[in-house]
Amino acid sequence: MTTTTAIKGINVKELTKKILNGDHIFILDVRNTGDFDDWKIEGENVHIINKPYFDLIDSLDPIMDQLPKDQPIYVICAKGGSSEFVAEQIADAGYNNVYSIEGGMKAWSEHLEPIKIGDLTGGGTIYQFVRIGKGCLSYLVESNGEVAIIDAARMIEPYEQFISEHNLKLTHLLDTHLHADHISGGRTLAEKVGAEYHLPPKDAEEVTYSYTKLEDGNEIRVGKVLIKAIYSPGHTIGSTSFIVDDQYLLTGDILFIDSIGRPDLAGKAEDWVSDLRQTLYDRYKQLADNLIVLPALHGN
Instruction: Give the DSSP per-residue string, 192-245.
Output: HHT-EEEE-GGG-TT--S--EE--TT-EEEETTEEEEEEE--SSSTT-EEEEET
Neighbours of 206 (CB within 10 A): 6
Neighbours of 145 (CB within 10 A): 14
CATH dotted code for 8-107: 3.40.250.10
- Helix (H) or strand (E) holding 87, with range, is helix 81-92
Q: Is 114 exposed, middle or buried (0-12, 13-18, 19+ CB in 10 A)?
A: middle
Domain with CATH 3.40.250.10 in the chain: 8-107
Catalytic residues: 77
Q: For residue 236, what are the CA distances in angstroms to 177, 198, 269, 271?
A: 7, 16, 10, 10
3-state secondary structure of 139: strand
Q: Is 287 left (phi over 0), alpha (psi -120 to 50) or beta?
A: beta
pLDDT (0 to 100) of residue 274: 83
Q: What contacts 120, CB < 8 A, 6 or more positions away?
A: 126, 141, 143, 224, 225, 244, 245, 247
7-22 residue pLDDT tens: 899 999 999 999 999 9
160-170 residue pLDDT tens: 999 999 999 99
| Separation between Cα atoms, residue 135 and residue 40, nearest integer Å | 12
pLDDT (0 to 100) of residue 174: 97
Domain with CATH 3.60.15.10 in the chain: 112-295
| Separation between Cα atoms, residue 89 and residue 67, nearest integer Å | 12
pLDDT (0 to 100) of residue 300: 46
pLDDT (0 to 100) of residue 180: 59
pLDDT (0 to 100) of residue 220: 97
Nearest to 106 by CA among 37, 10, 28, 12: 12
* Residue stretches of the chain with pLDDT short of 70: 1-5, 179-182, 263-269, 299-300
Neighbours of 135 (CB within 10 A): 15
CATH fold for the domain made of 112-295: Metallo-beta-lactamase; Chain A (3.60.15)
Q: Is 258 exposed, middle or buried (0-12, 13-18, 19+ CB in 10 A)?
A: exposed
Q: For residue 61, what are the CA distances in angstroms to 57, 64, 90, 235?
A: 10, 5, 11, 49
